[in-house]
Amino acid sequence: MKILVDADACPVKEVIVKIAKQYNLPVTMFIDTSHQHADGYSTVVTVDKGPDSVDFALVNRLEKNDIVVTQDYGLAAMCIGKGAKALNQNGLVYSDLNMDKLLFERHLGQKIRRGGGRTAPIKKRMHTDNETFERAFVMIVTEQLARMK
Protein backbone atom coordinates (compact mmCIF):
# COMPACT_ATOMS: atom_id res chain seq x y z
CA MET A 1 0.00 0.00 0.00
CA LYS A 2 1.24 3.44 -0.91
CA ILE A 3 -0.07 6.99 -0.89
CA LEU A 4 -0.34 8.86 -4.20
CA VAL A 5 -1.03 12.59 -4.24
CA ASP A 6 -2.30 14.84 -7.01
CA ALA A 7 0.00 17.47 -5.54
CA ASP A 8 -0.19 20.48 -7.89
CA ALA A 9 -2.75 22.36 -5.79
CA CYS A 10 -2.88 20.12 -2.73
CA PRO A 11 -2.92 22.19 0.50
CA VAL A 12 -2.43 19.18 2.83
CA LYS A 13 0.90 17.79 1.63
CA GLU A 14 2.50 18.36 5.05
CA VAL A 15 -0.31 16.51 6.84
CA ILE A 16 -0.01 13.60 4.39
CA VAL A 17 3.73 13.29 4.96
CA LYS A 18 3.34 13.54 8.75
CA ILE A 19 0.83 10.67 8.83
CA ALA A 20 2.75 8.61 6.26
CA LYS A 21 5.87 8.82 8.43
CA GLN A 22 3.91 7.66 11.48
CA TYR A 23 2.73 4.56 9.61
CA ASN A 24 5.93 4.11 7.59
CA LEU A 25 4.09 4.38 4.27
CA PRO A 26 5.63 5.51 1.00
CA VAL A 27 4.30 8.71 -0.57
CA THR A 28 4.53 9.77 -4.19
CA MET A 29 3.67 13.36 -5.09
CA PHE A 30 2.70 13.97 -8.71
CA ILE A 31 3.28 17.48 -10.08
CA ASP A 32 3.65 19.12 -13.46
CA THR A 33 6.61 21.18 -14.63
CA SER A 34 5.07 24.46 -13.45
CA HIS A 35 5.34 23.32 -9.80
CA GLN A 36 8.12 22.27 -7.46
CA HIS A 37 8.01 20.10 -4.37
CA ALA A 38 10.58 18.71 -1.96
CA ASP A 39 9.79 17.54 1.56
CA GLY A 40 12.65 15.12 2.20
CA TYR A 41 10.31 12.12 2.48
CA SER A 42 8.16 11.78 -0.63
CA THR A 43 9.13 10.60 -4.06
CA VAL A 44 8.27 13.35 -6.54
CA VAL A 45 7.16 12.52 -10.08
CA THR A 46 7.24 15.52 -12.41
CA VAL A 47 5.33 15.28 -15.68
CA ASP A 48 4.72 17.56 -18.66
CA LYS A 49 2.22 20.37 -18.26
CA GLY A 50 -0.32 18.80 -20.62
CA PRO A 51 -4.00 18.42 -19.83
CA ASP A 52 -4.54 15.65 -17.27
CA SER A 53 -0.89 14.55 -17.50
CA VAL A 54 -0.60 14.33 -13.70
CA ASP A 55 -3.83 12.33 -13.54
CA PHE A 56 -2.69 9.77 -16.11
CA ALA A 57 0.76 9.41 -14.52
CA LEU A 58 -0.84 8.79 -11.14
CA VAL A 59 -3.39 6.25 -12.43
CA ASN A 60 -0.66 4.38 -14.30
CA ARG A 61 1.25 3.84 -11.05
CA LEU A 62 -1.83 3.03 -8.99
CA GLU A 63 -2.42 -0.40 -7.49
CA LYS A 64 -5.34 -1.92 -5.63
CA ASN A 65 -5.54 -0.77 -1.96
CA ASP A 66 -3.44 2.38 -2.55
CA ILE A 67 -4.68 5.67 -1.12
CA VAL A 68 -5.08 8.69 -3.40
CA VAL A 69 -5.50 12.33 -2.38
CA THR A 70 -7.04 14.47 -5.10
CA GLN A 71 -9.65 17.14 -5.57
CA ASP A 72 -10.34 15.91 -9.12
CA TYR A 73 -13.57 13.88 -9.24
CA GLY A 74 -12.67 12.28 -12.55
CA LEU A 75 -9.32 11.08 -11.22
CA ALA A 76 -10.98 9.84 -8.04
CA ALA A 77 -13.50 7.85 -10.10
CA MET A 78 -10.69 6.15 -12.04
CA CYS A 79 -8.87 5.34 -8.79
CA ILE A 80 -11.95 3.83 -7.17
CA GLY A 81 -12.46 1.78 -10.31
CA LYS A 82 -8.99 0.31 -9.85
CA GLY A 83 -9.68 -0.67 -6.23
CA ALA A 84 -7.99 2.23 -4.47
CA LYS A 85 -9.34 4.52 -1.77
CA ALA A 86 -9.57 8.22 -2.56
CA LEU A 87 -10.32 11.38 -0.63
CA ASN A 88 -10.04 15.11 -1.18
CA GLN A 89 -8.14 17.79 0.71
CA ASN A 90 -11.16 18.52 2.93
CA GLY A 91 -11.63 14.92 4.06
CA LEU A 92 -14.42 13.96 1.68
CA VAL A 93 -14.01 10.24 1.06
CA TYR A 94 -14.97 9.36 -2.49
CA SER A 95 -17.01 6.21 -2.99
CA ASP A 96 -19.42 4.51 -5.34
CA LEU A 97 -22.18 6.04 -3.21
CA ASN A 98 -21.25 9.68 -3.89
CA MET A 99 -19.28 9.60 -7.14
CA ASP A 100 -22.23 9.74 -9.58
CA LYS A 101 -23.64 12.80 -7.80
CA LEU A 102 -20.25 14.55 -7.73
CA LEU A 103 -19.57 13.91 -11.41
CA PHE A 104 -23.06 15.05 -12.37
CA GLU A 105 -22.68 18.28 -10.36
CA ARG A 106 -19.31 18.89 -12.04
CA HIS A 107 -20.91 18.37 -15.44
CA LEU A 108 -23.72 20.82 -14.64
CA GLY A 109 -21.23 23.44 -13.42
CA GLN A 110 -19.17 23.11 -16.60
CA LYS A 111 -22.30 23.40 -18.72
CA ILE A 112 -23.38 26.57 -16.89
CA ARG A 113 -19.92 28.15 -17.26
CA ARG A 114 -19.69 27.24 -20.97
CA GLY A 115 -23.01 29.00 -21.45
CA GLY A 116 -21.64 32.17 -19.85
CA GLY A 117 -23.23 31.61 -16.45
CA ARG A 118 -21.61 31.67 -13.04
CA THR A 119 -21.44 29.05 -10.35
CA ALA A 120 -20.98 29.55 -6.61
CA PRO A 121 -17.46 30.58 -5.60
CA ILE A 122 -15.26 28.07 -3.82
CA LYS A 123 -15.29 28.61 -0.07
CA LYS A 124 -12.09 29.89 1.51
CA ARG A 125 -10.05 27.14 3.14
CA MET A 126 -10.19 27.07 6.93
CA HIS A 127 -7.80 25.53 9.47
CA THR A 128 -10.59 23.15 10.45
CA ASP A 129 -10.48 21.72 6.91
CA ASN A 130 -6.96 20.41 7.64
CA GLU A 131 -8.19 18.81 10.86
CA THR A 132 -11.13 17.18 9.08
CA PHE A 133 -8.79 15.91 6.36
CA GLU A 134 -6.34 14.51 8.93
CA ARG A 135 -9.09 12.57 10.74
CA ALA A 136 -10.44 11.11 7.48
CA PHE A 137 -6.95 10.32 6.20
CA VAL A 138 -5.93 8.50 9.40
CA MET A 139 -9.21 6.56 9.29
CA ILE A 140 -8.55 5.40 5.71
CA VAL A 141 -4.92 4.53 6.43
CA THR A 142 -5.80 2.45 9.49
CA GLU A 143 -8.71 0.73 7.68
CA GLN A 144 -6.49 -0.15 4.72
CA LEU A 145 -3.72 -1.46 6.96
CA ALA A 146 -6.22 -3.60 8.88
CA ARG A 147 -7.65 -5.01 5.63
CA MET A 148 -4.20 -6.01 4.44
CA LYS A 149 -3.35 -8.05 7.55
98/31: higher pLDDT = 31
Q: Are 115 and 122 in contact (CB under 8 A)?
A: no
The number of distinct structural domains making up the chain is 1
Distances (CA, A) of 53 to 57, 91, 101, 126: 6, 24, 25, 29
CATH number of domain containing 14? 3.40.50
pTM, two decimal places = 0.86
- Quick one: which of 94, 93, 85 has its CA closest to 65? 85
Write out pLDDT tens, residues 40-82: 999 999 999 988 899 999 999 999 999 999 988 889 999 999 9
Q: Is 6 exposed, middle or buried (0-12, 13-18, 19+ CB in 10 A)?
A: buried
Span 5-32, average pLDDT: 96
Give pLDDT, residue 95: 87
Per the structure, the complete domain to which residue 96 belongs is given by 3-148
